[in-house]
Amino acid sequence: MFSKRSIRRRFLFQLIVASAALVLFFSSFLFLFIKQSIYDEKQAELIGYAENISSYRSLLSAQQSNTDTLMGLNVELITLSTTQEQLEFYETDRKDKTTTLTLIYPFDFEKQSYLKISRDITSTKRLLRKILNSIFLINAVGFIVIILYAIAFSKMLITPISALSHRLANMNEHLIRPIKVEQLPDEFEPLGETINRLIGRIQNFIKYQKELFIGAAHELKTPLTVIKLKNQVTLIKKRTPEEYIEAIKITNQSVDEMNKIVADILNIGRQEGAQLEVPVQSDIIQILKKWEGDFKLLANSENKTLLTHFEPDGFSAVLQVTLLNQILQNFLQNALKFTPEGKTIRFQSHLNGVGIVIEVIDEGCGIDESVDLFAPFKRQGNKSGVGLGLFLAKSAAEAIGATITLTNRDDGVDGAVARLVIPSKLCCILP
């Protein structure tokens, strides 16, 4: 029913041990309290008789007239060789299975005489045994009730998890539906929301993978068709050597396009491998400054300006540096590609309420915000490219726990803003 790693099994085991210990402790404590109370009362009675004898030379005080209390009482006057000023009580078990409680009480110190008052407490001992049995019986019943309740309660707690497990086990890529969090107990709402976020990521992954496969097939089919058509035309009609060379050049261009598509698809595989890298602690600002140095040279060679401004001076983060570099490279390459000559690209970082924000702002033609540019093989404008760069950047951002967006500028200037937000839970400011 329960495995060794079962939480429910450990819970029930610990509850049984704790309940048994509690029942044993409570029963013992209650019995000892009742026993001590009864013995205190019996001892007080014997002391009362001894005081009456010493004061009035009678067992009963002047106010007492009930002689029934003297049943089973035995009084003797004894002499001890040593002086004993304190009261002494002791209990004696006889062969006839009776028990007596005896008090030694000082009577005359000069003559070293003492009162020895004994009382049969056999009925009291039997009563105590019955009380002890009753206490343990009641607590045993309570213990069984607690265990039954614990089994029912643990089953009730596991029911939502079992329902979630059953729901997830029966899902496939065509029937992935979010879990209705409002139907879960309050304690399981965070778990349901986490699973829904995971389902959302799985849905996006499946969607992008399908688009990737379809897009790759379509992109590879086009150059293959061109190559085949050119070859057929070349075979139909005789041509001069120069014309054959030109046809081969066109074929090589198509092959180069295919190689580029295959290389980008291989990059996706490399990125998935990079996601398995162990995150390391790195200074984000130092990484940004490295890319600043590389792309300033490229921008100057194309008659463009790269302006940078990084805040704070240092910012430590625990992440996969390879994935961060892939995102930054894509941002800067796209900004450089779409920004005309003589224009400016801004590369900057600053802090907000979430974490550190890294932005690359260009002065290009902007984007169509109604199109999902993070989907594979989605291209913007008339620039060359396969359309996998932003798809790779999006995947890398999700892998490091960051957020990536691409929007148009809102300052009245044409261009786009590529923004990466790394949450503060991954980072801390360096002094």
Summarize pLDDT for 220-266 with one digit per residue, the tens.
676 777 677 777 777 777 777 777 777 777 777 777 777 776 776 66
Q: Span 109-118, mean pLDDT? A: 77
Dist CA 410 CA 401 (whole Å): 27
Residues pairing with 347 in the sheet:
308, 360
pLDDT in tens, 14-37: 888 888 888 888 888 888 888 888
**Rounded to whole angstroms, how far apart are CA atoms 333 and 40?**
94
Q: In this model, does residue 62 exceed pLDDT 50?
A: no
User: Nearest 5 degrees, angle CA 56-CA 61-CA 65?
Assistant: 135
Mean pLDDT, residues 185-192 taken together: 75
**Statement: residue 81 has pLDDT above 80:** no
Quickly tell me which residue has 């014997």 as its tokens: 46
- 95 torsion bin: left (phi>0), alpha (psi -120 to 50), beta (else): alpha
Predicted local confidence at residue 361, as pLDDT: 93
* pLDDT digits 0-9 by tens, 350-375: 988 888 999 999 998 888 877 777 77
Q: Where does 365-408 show beta strands of DSSP type E?
A: 403-408
Question: Residue 28 has which token pair?
Answer: 């013992």
Q: Is the peptide bond before 241 cis (omega within 30 degrees of 0)?
A: no
pLDDT over 90 (residue 308): yes
Q: Choose among 262, 260, 256: nearest CA to 226.
A: 256
- In the prediction, which pLDDT does 65 show? 46
Strand 305-310 versus strand 344-351 pairing type: parallel
Residues 209-222 pLDDT 10s: 776 676 666 666 76
Strands 403-408 and 416-423: antiparallel
Measured CA to CA in angstroms, residue 381 lies from 181, 328, 378 at distances of 42, 21, 10
- Tally helices (H) and strands (E) across the chain: 7, 12
Statement: residue 100 has pLDDT above 80: yes
How high is the mean pLDDT of the chain? 78
Bridging pattern class, strands 344-351 and 113-120: unpaired
The number of angstroms, rounded, from the C-alpha of 119 to the middle of its chain's C-alpha atoms is 67
- Each domain of the chain, given as residue ranges in start order, spans 7-144, 204-274, 280-429
Give the span between the Cα atoms of 19 and 22, in whole angstroms: 5
Specify the fold of 280-429: Heat Shock Protein 90 (3.30.565)
Count of residues in the chain? 431
How big is the CA angle at 399 (ends 394 and 401), to the nearest 5 degrees?
A: 95
Residue 394 to residues 177, 200, 216, 328, 355: CA-CA distances in angstroms?
A: 23, 14, 18, 11, 18
Quick one: how far is CA 133 from the chain centroid?
Answer: 47
pLDDT at 208: 66
Is there a contact between 340 and 308 (Cβ–Cβ < 8 Å)?
Answer: no
Q: H/E element holding 226?
A: helix 189-236
Query: What is the DSSP code string of 78-127?
Result: EE-SS---S-EEEEEE-TTS-EEEEEEEEEETTTTEEEEEEEE-HHHHHH
Please report which confidence band the pLDDT of residue 58 belongs to, taking 50, 70 and 90 as the band edges. Answer: low
Q: Which residues pair with 420 in a beta bridge?
A: 358, 404
The CATH number for 204-274, chosen from 2.60.40, 1.20.1630, 4.10.860, 1.10.287, is 1.10.287
Distance CA(182)–CA(47), nearest Å, equals 71
